[in-house]
Amino acid sequence: MASVSPKLVKELRERTGLGMMECKKALVANEGDIEKAIEDLRKNSGLKAAKKAGRTAAEGKVRLTVEGGSAVAVEVNSETDFAAGDANFAGFADKVLAKLVETKETDVVKLTEGELEDARMALVQKIGENVTVRRAFVVEAETVGAYLHANGKIAAIVAMKGGNEEVAKDIAMHVTAVNPRVVRPEDMPEEELNKEKEIIKAQPDMAGKPAEIVEKMMGGRIKKFLKENSLLEQPFVKNPDQTIAQLAKEAGAEVESFVRIEVGEGIEVEDVDFAAEVAAQLKG
């Protein structure tokens, strides 16, 4: 069996959008000839899926489960919300979650290689949309709680010392609703603070004021910014008279960390002219 270099596999993946193993098999079968490999893949209709692979998949669902002191979650994306509601898509997402529970592997390339990658390709062929496994999370702590919003698109996991799963779940629900940036004010990254300071300095009411007045005003506004964006400082959504810090303390708990997952966050969606796309495909 001929051996092929990782560089060649990478090139074929970039040109076709197909999975690593499928590209490697095609290259081995064609003794490293990339053009023949592409021709074979086209004959086997593999590139039907590859044509979809370049499309942005920013819809989808989060799958989540909690078992004792461990919570795992995965984001699986599709191009449209309609496809994300398909039973075949749901079945694939469940398989990915099951493997994540079994392996605790958060590298999605490693998580999905082999049978799951084959299943993904088959699903792309069946529903006619690009499908990707975007992110995987594993959170382990003394106490773990999680919440998945009813639409399946937003979820959160909270890790605590002490307390109980129900309180952690309540705090996770709060995280999905309010979207804090950090657990405590001191956790805010310096880069974020500096960015906020620049925004405050540029505000119209700062113009022409003495430096010491600007610093004083900035101090107050930064304090407000930190309070609004720090989980423990925020009023609990189910009881605004109580902060999350007070809720945790009453439960004998200390919040260590949280993860918030929102489908498609951070993905840039290209504004596509559908008519132009169809015309381009007909010309091609």
Class of domain 59-175+257-267: alpha beta
How crowded is the C-beta side of 255, counted as CA atoms within 13 Å?
29
Residues 6+ apart with CB under 8 A from 236: 170, 174, 242, 243, 244, 246, 247
* Six token digits for residue 117: 């990658």
Residue pointed to by tokens 């603070």: 193
Taking the alpha carbons at both ends of the chain, their separation in whole angstroms is 35
The pLDDT of residue 220: 85
For the stretch 119-153, pLDDT in tens is 988 888 888 888 889 999 999 999 999 999 988 99
DSSP string, 90-114: HHHHHHHHHHHHHH----HHHHHTT
The total of other beta-carbon atoms located within 10 Å of residue 197's CB is 14
Q: HSE, CB side, 13 Å, CA atoms: give it for residue 121.
A: 23
Exposed e or buried b for every residue in 122-153, given b needs 16+ CB within 10 A? Answer: ebbeebebbbbbbbbbbbebebbbbbbeeebb
pLDDT at residue 281, rounded to an integer: 46
Query: Would you state the pLDDT for residue 174?
Result: 97
| Contacting residues for 31 by C-beta, under 8 A, at least 6 apart | 2
Rounded to whole angstroms, the Cα distance separating 133 from 116 reads 10
The CATH 3.30.479.20 domain(s) of the chain lie at 59-175+257-267
CA-CA-CA-CA torsion for 25, 28, 30, 31, nearest 10 degrees? 170
Measured CA to CA, the distance from residue 150 to residue 139 in angstroms comes to 21
Structure tokens at 127: 């529903």
pLDDT at 268: 61
Confidence at residue 272, expressed as pLDDT on a 0 to 100 scale:
47
Q: Which parts of the chain register pLDDT below 70?
A: 1-2, 14, 16-19, 42-57, 268-284
CA 69 and chain centroid, separation: 22
pLDDT value of residue 204: 81
CA distance 231 to 237: 11
**73-108, pLDDT tens digit by residue?**
999 999 888 988 989 999 999 999 999 999 999 999
How many angstroms separate the CA atoms of 168 and 157, rounded? 8
| Fold entry, domain 6-53 | Helicase, Ruva Protein; domain 3 (1.10.8)
C-alpha to C-alpha distance for 19 and 114, rounded to whole angstroms: 9
Q: Which two tokens stand for residue 34?
A: 């990339």
| Residue bearing tokens 């840039």 | 268
Task: Classify 244 in phi/psi space as left (phi over 0), alpha (psi -120 to 50) or beta.
Answer: alpha
- Identify the pLDDT of residue 17: 62
Look at phi and psi of residue 209 and say left if phi exceeds 0, alpha if psi is from -120 to 50, else beta: beta
Vertex 106, ends 100 and 107: CA angle to 5°? 120
